[in-house]
Amino acid sequence: MTKSISSPNSSSNAPLFNPLRLGDLTLAHRVVLAPLTRMRSTQPGDIPNALNATYYAQRATPGGLLISEATQISLEGKGYPVTPGIYSEEQIAGWRIVTDAVHAKGGYLFAQLWHVGRISHSSLHPQQGLPVSASAIAPADGKALTAAFQQVEFETPRALALEELPRIVADYVHAARCAQAAGFDGVEIHSANGYLPDQFLEDGVNHRTDVYGGAIENRARLLLEVVDAVVSVWGPGRVGVRLSPWGKFNSMNDSNPLALFTYVLQQLSARSIAYAHLVEPRANGGADGALDASAPDAAASFRKAFPSALISAGGYLGDTASKAIASGHADAIAFGRWFISNPDLPRRLQLGVELNPYDRSTFYGGTEKGYTDYPALDEILSPTLA
């Protein structure tokens, strides 16, 4: 366990608890559950289950927004073992248990739609063969995780042919419709952290010479086609997009990220989507998750390009989250690790009380340990405070 920390006093966190209009929804507060891969679906079939429902319901609050863990839109889009999908009838039924549990607590739940592209391994989808990407370039760093949880070298992906890209868009549409059938309140398109849409966006990976490569407008084409198609299912007020400008995770880089992501966010703004969700660049991969003071502030850098609801994620605590909102750079803050270990995180931030420490060893895979067994305030405080 890491050392527990004390949250700043409740008055300094006040900006987090003002209502927010986000697309078609009105949020009661601005503390958002970030999408967090937990690898606890039922096998075979990558099906959500009752334990997952307990986890999300524990973190639901009236009028609060939760974003689901990354959820593959197809078997081809799967990149890790035991992650859930959103493309089969069984998965729809499993997610319905989860959404019903969240709605019973008065919360909102968006499904994060995920295609990992090259960050995969053929053992996860043996019938489909090699992972796919914008270009046949393997990640330079890290390891792939096989279906048996073994770390191995990344395979060189297969570059998607031009005629295959309508199928990719269709897979997003199918997943979006499945999310509606499962009772979600909206969807977030995962175009961050080096997954497939990001692989098309950034020229460190996209070396294509067709209409999906080269100029920024071409590299953004696939993402915007996906957004337009998903908006046709949900309407713009129920669709968000996650991006990671300056992100290096999964061996990503671009020659001009400011120009690239300014263009993308301007295009998203013109489509009146519910929100943009930006991942702040990290100082390192260390346990503290601190932000790099020398790295650009993504929310501040792109605020003018996307004046609508903007969610920022990355290493925030109560005081820094409130400052980001008070500055106008962000409208809501997504919390990850601290929301894992504090199922009642909004309440704790509002009261300014100590946070439970988190246990990294239980983040991925396993049972209820490190998943649904973190105590809420009611279990640890005196009756007068609880």
Active site residues: 195
Q: Identify the bridge partners of residue 25 per DSSP, sorted by sequence position.
A: 22
In angstroms, the first-to-last Cα distance of the chain is: 24
Contacts of 247 (CB under 8 A, 6+ apart): 192, 193, 194, 198, 279, 281
CA dist., res. 72 & res. 79, Å (int): 8
Other beta carbons within 10 Å of 371: 19
CA dist., res. 191 & res. 170, Å (int): 16
Instruction: Supply the DSSP string of 191-247, one letter for each residue.
Output: --TTSHHHHHH-TTT----STTSSSHHHHTHHHHHHHHHHHHHH-GGGEEEEE-TT-
Sign of the CA dihedral with 189 first, then 193, 196, and 197 last:
positive
DSSP 281: P
Contacts of 239 (CB under 8 A, 6+ apart): 23, 186, 187, 188, 189, 227, 230, 231, 273, 274
3-state helix, strand, coil in the chain (%, to 5): 35, 15, 50
CA dist., res. 4 & res. 237, Å (int): 38
Give the 3-state secondary structure of residue 90. helix
Other beta carbons within 10 Å of 149: 12
| Type of residue numbered 147 | A
Write out the two tokens for 30. Answer: 């601005």
Closest CA to 186 of 16, 27, 372, 363: 27
DSSP 85: B
